[in-house]
């Protein structure tokens, strides 16, 4: 009397696609433990578990049935994925390269008996879709990876990640965008004494010259430190049509910003004594950054009112990295004061700093490479996971709306 676990529509899917996990062939009302397990690229094992009760016909369907206990409770069809945790504290799931799929093993066990496995199924979650090309790019002053979908033309997006990561860029390319991902820091952040906007301008120009790009300008998406670079590009560089800034600051943080060999914005200072250490050993750094609106910091604010493009400002209300919600409100206020209506805001209560494409294991705390501390990122796992699903579709919709590909100006095919 064998039970089987099925993944619908398929055991292979894209990383950001939901799957439906179903079990058949159990005894009527049998209680079982379901587990998910995955190893990241650093070799760290992440896992989750949840207890389910079969219906009268010995079936369980995660779209319909609630978890009774475990890593989460209630009806959460993708709960086994976002609730995965590492055995060790303060670990973040590392998936920097788009070529390697996120492989998750789902297994079914007799209640609380890990040694009695009833069924298992492997989910291969691909980061790069069919026919999307991945090309490492080295410009004069920047390096990155370019993702191009088949056919075309497509709108162009520059993904500014704080430290190199391909996940968000490749997943967006799967949706019909030419995406170039470029890290803000290629060197160790401690060695970076200034940032030159020209280097990112060069990346914008490179993107616009790509043969499959059909949009007149480019979009930019960024989170955290990448946010102030994205805002600055919108303010100083032509051709930036749409910016998504996720949990970014309205001032330039940590190092001065240069453009055409002049310092254009001075950095907002921080105060290391304002760290709050918690019992787990992780610190809350939210209160360490200076107040962007204080008189002595006004030269660190980005003059976003100069921007010609559109903004989507996104803030997590429970961000413990810094006060994203306040920065978002200040930016909205500044644009309104200048008579501008070229922005929309999106706010997520219960979400933390690290908003990612959906179905990533939620990370509560990890080592912050820019401040050299293990930090709490904020957020409550379920609310954070829901925010990621919602935001991901909003980003695509925003770029599609504001980076239209005009059929008349597509480059002729030879």
Active-site entry in 170, 319, 360, 384: 319
Active site includes 215?
no
Active site includes 319?
yes
Active site includes 353?
yes
HEC assignment per residue over the chain: CCCEEEEECCCEEECCCCCEEEEECCCCCCEEEEEEEEECCCCCEEEEEEEEECCCCCCEECCCCCECEECCCECCCCHHHHCCEECCCCCCCCCCCCCCCEEEEEEEEECCCCCCEEEEEEEEEECCCCCCEEEEEECCCCEEEEEECCCCCEEEEEEEECCCCCHHHHHHHCCCCEEEEEECCCCCHHHCCCEEHHHHHHHHHHHHCCCCEEEEEEEEEEECHHHHHHHHHHHHCCCEEEEEEECCCCECECCCEEECCEEEECCECECHHHCEECCCCCEECCCCECCCCCHHHHHHECCHHHCCCEEEEEEECCCCCCCHHHHHHHHHHHHHHCCCCCEEEEEECCCCCCCCCCCCCCCCEEEECCCCEEEECCCCHHHHHHHHHHHHHHHHHHHHHHCCECHHHCCCCC
Active-site entry in 38, 215, 224, 324: 224
| Active site members | 224, 319, 353
């Amino acid at each position: 009397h064998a039970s089987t676990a099925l993944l619908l529509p398929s055991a292979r899917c894209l990383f950001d696609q939901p799957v439906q996990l179903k079990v058949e062939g159990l005894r009527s009302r049998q209680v079982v433990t379901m587990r998910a397990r995955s190893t990241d690229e650093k070799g760290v094992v992440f896992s989750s578990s949840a207890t389910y009760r079969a219906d009268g016909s010995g079936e369980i369907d995660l779209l319909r049935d609630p978890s009774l206990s475990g890593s989460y409770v209630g009806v959460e069809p993708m709960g086994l994925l976002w609730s995965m945790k590492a055995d060790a504290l303060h670990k973040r799931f590392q998936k920097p390269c788009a070529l390697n799929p996120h492989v998750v093993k789902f297994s079914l066990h007799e209640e609380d008996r890990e040694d009695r496995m009833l069924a298992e199924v492997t989910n291969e979650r691909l980061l790069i879709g069919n026919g999307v090309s991945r090309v490492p790019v080295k410009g004069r002053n920047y390096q990155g990876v370019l993702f191009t979908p088949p056919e075309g033309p497509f709108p162009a997006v520059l993904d500014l990640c704080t430290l190199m990561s391909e996940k968000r860029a490749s997943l967006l390319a799967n949706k019909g965008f030419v995406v170039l991902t470029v890290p803000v820091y290629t060197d160790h952040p401690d060695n970076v004494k200034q940032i030159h906007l020209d280097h990112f301008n060069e990346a914008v120009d490179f993107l616009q010259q790509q043969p499959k790009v059909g949009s007149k300008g480019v979009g930019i998406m960024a989170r955290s430190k990448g946010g102030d670079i994205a805002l600055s590009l919108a303010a100083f560089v032509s051709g930036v049509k749409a910016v998504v800034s996720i949990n970014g600051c309205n001032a330039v943080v940590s190092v001065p910003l240069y453009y055409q060999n002049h310092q254009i914005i001075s950095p907002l200072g921080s105060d290391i004594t304002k760290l709050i250490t918690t019992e787990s050993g992780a610190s809350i750094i939210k209160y360490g950054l200076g107040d962007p609106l204080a008189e002595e910091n006004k030269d660190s604010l980005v003059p976003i009112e100069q921007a010609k493009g559109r903004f989507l400002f996104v803030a997590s209300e429970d961000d413990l990295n810094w006060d994203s919600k306040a920065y978002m409100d200040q930016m909205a206020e500044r644009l309104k004061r200048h008579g501008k209506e070229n922005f929309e805001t999106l706010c997520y209560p219960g979400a933390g700093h690290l908003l990612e494409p959906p179905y990533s294991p939620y990370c509560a705390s990890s080592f912050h490479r820019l401040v050299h501390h293990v930090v709490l990122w904020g957020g409550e796992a379920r609310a954070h996971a829901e925010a990621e699903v919602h935001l991901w579709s909003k980003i695509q919709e925003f770029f599609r709306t504001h980076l239209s590909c005009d059929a008349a100006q597509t480059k002729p095919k030879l």
